[in-house]
Amino acid sequence: MKLVEFHGSVHTDIPLARFTTWKIGGNTDWMIMPSNFDDLDILMTEIRRTRIPWFILGNGSNVLFSDKGFRGVVITLGTSFKRMSISGDTVRVGAGVTLNHLAQQTAATGLSGLEPLAGIPGTLGGAAAVNAGAFGSSLLDLCIEINGIDSLGVKRSFKNIFSSYRSRVFPDDFIITELQLKLTKDDPSRIHEHLSKYLERRRSTQPLAEASAGCTFKNPENQGTGRLIDELGLKGFQKGQAMISKKHANFIINTGNASSADVVELIDYVRKRVWERFNVKLELEVIILDEYGKGLDPGGDIK
């Protein structure tokens, strides 16, 4: 990589396990953090020139990398993507800010809307890309504008975003850099009360202290994946060191030294069992990548 007038950080041979909540993944050839928009533009130009695979990583809370790592550039967003400003009931926020941090800040200033989403561990960019949600709310429902850059270096802005449950609405090569959200004014103490209630509900039903990537599969319409897997008696079931959580069956836990292959095997197994028993095809919520950045869908071809 030749990055002229680049002000961010450039590292090589970095273990991805350190950057994912599953704590799984071999080394990436490159890990590059543009510190601002111009840096990101320079980096994308170089990526186009070299045709090297790339992946934009937020908090690493919804992704499974390969045991072989990544033969390309993992991009993480630096300081100027971690700012936020509030004006009236509108918030402009960088894609590198975590949802939890934003929810706490907006609650403190008397802006309501993010309380159900506060416990989601991801960054705003990652959460918007997959339309993360909880307790019936989804992030994109609150977004009035999303800005970013595509792999050709074109700055793009999306308004009037139409989204549905856990759907991807932006082009695959679009990097979200900034979001604008419209919230509702309310009393800070009431917002905090709701926020605490949601966090507590999450704590009591989900294995938050263990290494996972949240829910592994989406919920099929009108059904709960956790319940389906639970009904199969699979809580605690393991492939290698990857285990179906004993607390919530849609979570896969790395019990210590799980490999990416262990998790893939478990996903494949669960999907087959759910299909055989309930005739339901589970869709992945997590992103699984091979070492060249190609998306994988283990067990997705069941017939």
Which residues contact ligand EPU by CB under 6 A?
134-135, 202, 205, 214-215, 218-219, 224-227, 230, 248-250, 285
Q: Are 191 and 206 in contact (CB under 8 A)?
A: no
How far from 296 is each of 39, 49, 100, 250, 291, CA to CA, in Å?
A: 30, 26, 29, 19, 10
Q: How far is the CB of 132 from ligand EPU (least distance, A)?
A: 6
Q: Using an 8 Å Cβ cutoff, are 34 and 77 in contact?
A: yes
Q: Name which of 9 and 205 has its Cβ closer to ligand EPU.
A: 205
Between residues 224 and 300, which has the closer beta carbon with respect to ligand EPU? 224
CB of 107 to ligand EPU, least distance (A): 18
Task: Find the shortest distance in angstroms from Cβ 122 to ligand EPU.
Answer: 9
Q: Please say which residue, 106 or 250, places its beta carbon nearer to ligand EPU.
A: 250
Comparison of 204 and 279: residue with beta carbon closer to ligand EPU: 204
Sequence-distant (6+) residues with CB within 8 A of 160 are none
Please, which residue, 150 or 230, has the CB nearer to ligand EPU?
Answer: 230
Q: How far is the CB of 102 from ligand EPU (least distance, A)?
A: 17
Kindly tell me which of 15 and 224 has the beta carbon lying closer to ligand EPU.
Answer: 224
CB of 253 to ligand EPU, least distance (A): 12
In the complex with ligand EPU, the residue whose CB is nearer, 6 or 217, is: 217
In angstroms, what is the minimal distance from the CB of 246 to ligand EPU? 9
Tell me how far, at minimum, the Cβ of 153 lies from ligand EPU, in Å.
Answer: 32
SS (H, E, C) the chain: CCCCCCCCEEEEEEEHHHHCCCCCCCEEEEEEECCCHHHHHHHHHHHHHHCCCEEECCCCCCEECECCEEEEEEECCCHHHCCEEEECCEEEEECCCEHHHHHHHHHHCCEECCHHHCCCCCEHHHHHHCCCEECCEEHHHHEEEEEEEECCCCEEEEECCCCCCCCCCCCCCEEEEEEEEECEECCHHHHHHHHHHHHHHHHHHCCCCCECCCECECCCCCCCHHHHHHHCCCCCCEECCEEECCCCCCEEEECCCCCHHHHHHHHHHHHHHHHHHHCCCCCECCEEECCCCCECCCCCCCC
The least distance separating ligand EPU from the CB of residue 235, rounded to whole angstroms, comes to 6
